[in-house]
Amino acid sequence: MKILFLQTGGTIDKDYPKRYQGYHFEIATPAIIPILEKVNPNFTYEVDSILKKDSMDITSADRDKIYQACKKARDDKIIITHGTDSMVQTAEKLSSIRDKVIILTGSLRPEKFVNSDAMFNIGTAVGAINVLANGVYIAMNGRIYTWDNCVKTESGVFIEKF
């Protein structure tokens, strides 16, 4: 099995370099790289960086770029790391792609933080991609949702809409 990981940015990839004073972040190296290095996965993978943006800054043109990357990919299993604030909007844009399993995931705390949920959410996505039918999904908080049946609560947890 091969998984294509696409980085778009978001909290999962944020770093807060000490060279800056106050609140300032950078979108760093894809968080998926150190995560996969820690777990020694039993599958092949490729990591591509498409965007390095906070999800609140992702535009329609950016979503088109993500769509094109997924549509043109030869791989049929794709995990996208994405900020949680606009994850569902990007998933909606991708929903017309019907010949692949696409899972969007992210984290509420950067992968670089000790108490990050990044590894847990990536693990949920990787486990699910093995068994899901083609479609677009969200993997957050230990659950898998179809893109159109979840919302992010004010506390940052994804829940079913219906």
pLDDT tens digits along 31-42 = 999 999 999 899
The percent of the chain in helix, strand and coil, each rounded to the nearest 5, is: 30, 30, 40
Side by side, the strands of the sheet bearing 143-146 are 44-53, 2-9, 77-81, 101-105, 135-140, 143-146
| Residue 111 predicted with pLDDT over 90 | no
CA neighbor of 106 nearest in space, from 94, 96, 116, 118 = 118
Owning domain of residue 148? 2-160
Q: How many separate domains does the chain show?
A: 1
This prediction has a pTM of: 0.93
Reported as a pLDDT band with limits 50, 70 and 90, residue 106 is very high
Looking up residue 94, the CATH number of its domain turns out to be: 3.40.50.1170
Cβ contact 32:48 at 8 Å:
no
Instruction: Give the three-state DSSP class for 119.
Output: helix
